Amino acid sequence: MWEKIISCDQTYDELFFTAVKTTKIYCRPSCKSRKPKKINVTFYHDIKEVEAAGFRACKRCKPEVEHSPHTELIKNVTAFLVNHYKQKLTLQNIADHVGISPFHLERLFQQETAETPRTYLEKIRVDKAAHLLVHTDLKTLEICYDVGFQSPSSFYKSFRKVTNCSPSEYRRQEQ
């Protein structure tokens, strides 16, 4: 078990918990916090047992939460993207909104959703554009800028990547 916490092995999460006697904190085996001295560590197989022994949950890995400890952060990011898709957004803007570094944000987002914040934002914009193409008489160029793309070329490229057709082909198909 000691080897699993040293290697931060996620596959052992929920199978056992690491409790540190000196801090009275317990963690998942995959927790990225600084590793304690081996003599200060006890292992528990049940969360009720470790809490009954007087340990509190780590605020970093949140072992008491059954889902990923980053779920709330990812929900916050996706809500931000959905609500601000029309604006010119950079990874730095998004990272500033949630209070972490751009590098850490991109890594966590990709780990949890299997895509980058940029590709997620592109999909939102393309979905909004597809809706406008079918339900309005706006010109394709107007829709391009209305949904937040900075140039028609990036709009056409992203639209084709997501829908496998051009905006005008999509409009014809859906009418």
Give residue 60's identity as a one-letter amino acid code. R
Closest by CA to 95, choosing from 110, 105, 84, is 105
Q: Which two tokens stand for residue 28?
A: 């998942």
- Residue 9 phi/psi, 5° resolution? -75, 110
155-165 confidence digits (pLDDT tens): 999 999 999 99
Give residue 48's identity as a one-letter amino acid code. K
Helix (H) or strand (E) holding 163: helix 152-163
What domains, with CATH codes, occur in the chain?
2-57 (3.40.10.10), 71-116 (1.10.10.60), 119-174 (1.10.10.60)
**How long, in residues, is the chain?**
175
Given 8, 27, 61, 165, the catalytic residue: 27
Rounded-to-integer distance, Cα 30 and Cα 45, Å = 15
- Give the pLDDT score at 63: 86
Q: Is 8 a catalytic residue?
A: no
83-120 confidence digits (pLDDT tens): 999 999 999 999 999 999 999 999 999 988 888 999 99
Q: What is the pLDDT along the chain (175 residues), one digit of tens a residue?
A: 888 888 887 777 778 899 999 999 999 888 888 888 999 999 998 889 999 999 999 988 888 876 666 778 888 999 999 999 999 999 999 999 999 999 999 999 998 888 899 999 999 999 999 999 999 999 999 999 999 999 999 999 999 999 999 999 999 987 7
Partner residues linked to 44 by β-bridges? 17
- Give the pLDDT score at 61: 85
